[in-house]
Structure 1
Amino acid sequence: MQLELNQLSVPPGQRVLLKNVSWQMFESILDELGEGRAARISYSQGTLEIMTPLPEHENDKVIIGDFVKAILEELDIEFVSLGSTTFKNKVMVQSVEPDDCFYIKNEAAIRGKKRIDLTIDPPPDLAIEIDLTYRTQFNNYEFLKVPELWRYNGQRLQINILHNGKYVESQNSHIFSEIPLKETIPQYVEQSKIIGRNATMKAFRTWVKEQLNR
């Protein structure tokens, strides 16, 4: 008896792990699930993970992504935000779908591209994972050489910098080295749940301008 993907039901906040999945099987599964799916996919060395995010997961993802865009706009830095794009590298047998990601230093290298091929294109400069269930595995991002990975667990922002192929937790972002984001972003995320998104974004932009003018 063979299990069909449409028989799987993954409740929000839960995940399913499938072992011994070949790269060919993985790509077939991606095609079958399609791009409009709610589930998130991660693949590493034959292990496939399927996860369905919680509603609060999506809220945190959007507001933190908006914070990053606001900083980049205030700095007048060109960027590309690719959201939960599927990043694959067949040679490394790795694939991951971040909650959000940004090309910043490497923005010009992928500008205008409809498809990203990590065998020839650079990885995103920054990836963001909303990790309310402590599911994020570093392996995929380390193999794909994403320079900076943020992980937010609903209360704390963890900033991880790639150093000699492994992530090291840092007090500061290397991309935004002059702005103290580790403690401030969680505060503004919580503020958005009290006073609303627009009021929070205005307050956050004001704070960013103050930091840049120091």
Structure 2
Amino acid sequence: MYDDVETEAGVQTTRDEPGKTPWAIKGELILNCNCTVFCPCVVSLGKHAPTEGYCQAWAGVRIDEGFYGDADISGLNVGLLLEIPGLMARGNWKAAAFIDERADDGAYDGLVNIFSGAARGTTGLFSLLVSEFLGAERAPVIFETEGKARRLMVGKKIQGEVVPVGGSDPDSDIVVTNTQYWMGPDITVATATKGRVRAFGRVWDFDGRSAEICQIDWVGPQGR
């Protein structure tokens, strides 16, 4: 587990100071987008256009260990909706977050700050690239793993399942390693066996499209 985090004055930072509050998350992220083949953003760092010229995606985060100030966020899940009109690096994104309904008020506020970019740190790029944060809401966010399959269920709003793409060795995943991708350096190449979004006026179906699996280790200011 993470150690308690204190400010220079020796007083633990609270959740009331977004952008200054220490935070950290370890866990796993899955993502499914509308790219017809493996997402080119992973290796181009957003400088190559998505295969359809624009990006629509849902993502799920399983938090194995984490905190935001004095709020414990371990064991919670988050669902995300992302819409990017062109090159990822050029910004003008739209985003929304679904926060695990099990989160207490402190954890909820912290997760909204993290995934809106207000908390800075690893996800701080959201504050630079997202031009419209569509909102955040509490929801039953379920992240399941069965064998190699990962599933994200956010009520009827997101229903998704991703599985690693098969390689010559069936026991080993195809992994793009040592990248500079913001989510994490090692990305497992996957595909969606189900990718349905019915939220914020979006109706998307991405079955069979590109997907990713990534172990995450994110931090905010003084997050270690």
Both structures adopt the same fold (TM-score exceeding 0.5)? no
TM-score normalised according to structure 2 size: 0.30
TM-score normalised according to structure 1 size: 0.31
Structure with greater contact order relative to length (CA < 8 Å, sep ≥ 6): 2
Higher helix share: 1
Higher strand share: 2
Rg bigger for which structure?
Answer: 1
